[in-house]
Structure 1
Amino acid sequence: MPAPKNTFKAALREGRFQLGLWVALGSAYAAEIASGSGYDWLLLDGEHGPNDMPLLGAQIGALRGTVSHPIVRPPMGEAWLLKQLLDQGAQTFLIPMVETAEQARALVRAVRYPPAGIRGVGAGLGRASDFNRTPEYLTTANDEICLIVQIESRAGLAALDEIAAIEGVDGIFIGPSDLAADMGYLGQPAAPPVTEAIRDAFARIHKHGKARGIMTVVLEQAHEYRAMGADFMAIGTDVNCLVKAMDGLRRDFLGLAGTQTKGGGY
């Protein structure tokens, strides 16, 4: 029996658009609820969400057997942290703040077993191998790993072509909020110069045959990114959805007019 099929990676290879949602509440229950909404993937956020290893492991477990593929974003791309997440069953990673080809190459090695990488051989203790019940796990795991690197600075954009050319990098995700801040447009991810930088980045990523990803909480912007060629995209967060629903319910009952709560960067 081989490692579990990475449905998200397979979909990207087949050119099928994948729609996602950010999950940042740090709750396996919330992740399970979100999985019933039919999104192709859910981003378990360890960078800005209140998550640690047990919480992320519980959420990965809660999504087993659902239609929503878990993508894990650790706070940083450290090999020791990725090793633990891999053994917890994570197969797809979104690594923040990648700015150089050297970083990307190190990440490719961190998520693969030797001789292609440096991942430690210990998955028999974890969910990844179904607790050592998957006899072919070690020989098939590498093929099912999907590595997405997140570019969200001018330095990252400058190195984009070199990063996108690296074998083992399956996709590049543009972080519009941090990119906007680095370009001098803090809190303005839709500023025209930022939008043009994203458009150019998408074109360059596509030339290298890699998947293009992005997120926004503004639907109008989401449609624009999709028209630009986004291959996978998140269109909201569990936090924003909860705030919007709770605030809206109160306003509706009281007959109050109000503006939609706006979120920060992702």
Structure 2
Amino acid sequence: MTDTTFLADKMRSGKPVVTSWCFLRSAMIPEILARAGYDAVTIDMQHGMYDFDATVDAFTHIALGGAHRIARIPVGDNALAGRLIDMGAECIIAPMINSRADAEAFARSLKYPPLGDRSWSPRRAVMLTGQSNEAYLKASNAQTIGLAMVETQDAIDALDDILSVPELDGIFVGPSDLSLSLSNGAALDPNGAATAEACARIAEKARAAGKLAGIFCLSGEKVEEAVSMGYQLISHGIDTLFVDGAARNALSEVSWLKDRVEGKTGAGY
């Protein structure tokens, strides 16, 4: 990395950190996003196309591009969370954390004793952070961020208990699933008023508990709203939407060509 400040330090400083989000399995895409200036790049192993090997490759390219490395794991895969930290992830986001027990099991998988049960073998993490084994062991529990996703009514009901887990660094809100849960499956409304009100309450509780808070945003307006609510980690920008939008814009610039081919203008070649 060109920036030796750890992600945990940036988030705890109170300055918002913006991460892009990657579904498409390609090591170059995360690097491109890192070089574009994102603070961090998140690899989605829950809904994206990334397996373990592809994620580890992506971490290398993200570091080469000068950004911080985040991964979202599949539901309940705490063993994978520990492996990803060994391979250089600075932050792990765990989906569908709905109870204190869920949060505690996840958080402890990321921390060395006495805070957790993580097994020792951070070979790649030591390389990417440029630390000695001794320095890494001393600092790792503080440098490694675990965020439990709050995206259901059950999680909101258990939020005080989740936030009371001492080993847990914070929470991450998924507004889409949250809106589905709040409406009992009646509506997908991540940008709606009810979802925004719930997100504000979640951020307030996280701040009161001294925890970090992150959120997935689908527009620039939502980013501004999230910052005003006190979220420190904000996801804005998805690789699939970047490719789709750029492709459509490129084709729109030569839409006249399609008209010619179809003979609508009467022009020849």
The answer as to whether partners of 1:71 and 1:90 remain within 8 angstroms in 2 is yes
Residue of structure 2 in register with 1:252 after alignment: 253
Q: Distance in 1 between matches of 2:224 and 2:142?
A: 32
Question: SS of 1:36's equivalent?
Answer: helix
Structure whose CA Rg is larger = 2
The answer as to whether partners of 2:69 and 2:88 remain within 8 angstroms in 1 is no
Matches of residues 98-113 of structure 1 in structure 2 within 5 Å? Answer: 98-113=97-112
Deviates more, 1:14-23 or 1:174-183: 14-23
Residue of structure 2 in register with 1:263 after alignment: none
Q: Which amino acid aligns with 1:195?
A: A
Q: How far did 1:155 drift? A: 0.4
Q: How far did 1:189 drift? A: 1.1
Q: How far did 1:5 drift? A: 6.4
Alignment partner of 1:216 is 2:217: yes
Q: Deviations over 1:232-259 (max 9, x none)?
A: 2111201111111101211232069xxx
- The alpha-carbon distance between structure 1 residues 244 and 31, as it changes in their structure 2 partners (threshold 3 A), is same
Aligned length: 251
Alignment partner of 1:165 is 2:164: yes
The structure carrying a bigger helix percent of its residues is: 2
Q: Distance in 2 between matches of 1:65 and 1:249?
A: 29
Unpaired segments ≥5 residues, structure 1: 257-266
Q: Deviations over 1:196-216 (max 9, x none)?
A: 111111111111122221112
Q: How far did 1:96 drift? A: 0.7
- The alpha-carbon distance between structure 1 residues 255 and 183, as it changes in their structure 2 partners (threshold 3 A), is farther
Residue of structure 2 in register with 1:230 after alignment: 231
Question: SS of 1:55's equivalent?
Answer: helix
Identical-residue share of aligned pairs (%):
28
Coordinate RMSD, CA, aligned: 2.2
Q: TM-score, normalised by structure 1?
A: 0.87
Q: How far did 1:65 drift? A: 4.7
Alignment partner of 1:243 is 2:244: yes
The answer as to whether partners of 1:215 and 1:236 remain within 8 angstroms in 2 is no
Residue of structure 1 in register with 2:188 after alignment: 187
Q: Deviations over 1:153-184 (max 9, x none)?
A: 00001111221222222221111000001112
Q: Distance in 1 between matches of 2:171 and 2:78?
A: 19
Residue of structure 1 in register with 2:264 after alignment: none
Unpaired segments ≥5 residues, structure 2: 258-269
Q: How far did 1:6 drift? A: 6.2
Q: Distance in 2 between matches of 1:79 and 1:225?
A: 28
- The alpha-carbon distance between structure 1 residues 143 and 216, as it changes in their structure 2 partners (threshold 3 A), is closer
Question: SS of 1:249's equivalent?
Answer: helix
- The alpha-carbon distance between structure 1 residues 220 and 157, as it changes in their structure 2 partners (threshold 3 A), is same
Deviates more, 1:133-142 or 1:171-180: 133-142
Q: Distance in 1 between matches of 2:76 and 2:16?
A: 26
The answer as to whether partners of 1:177 and 1:186 remain within 8 angstroms in 2 is no
Q: Which amino acid aligns with 2:132?
A: T
Alignment partner of 1:129 is 2:130: no
Q: How far did 1:10 drift? A: 0.3
Question: SS of 1:64's equivalent?
Answer: helix
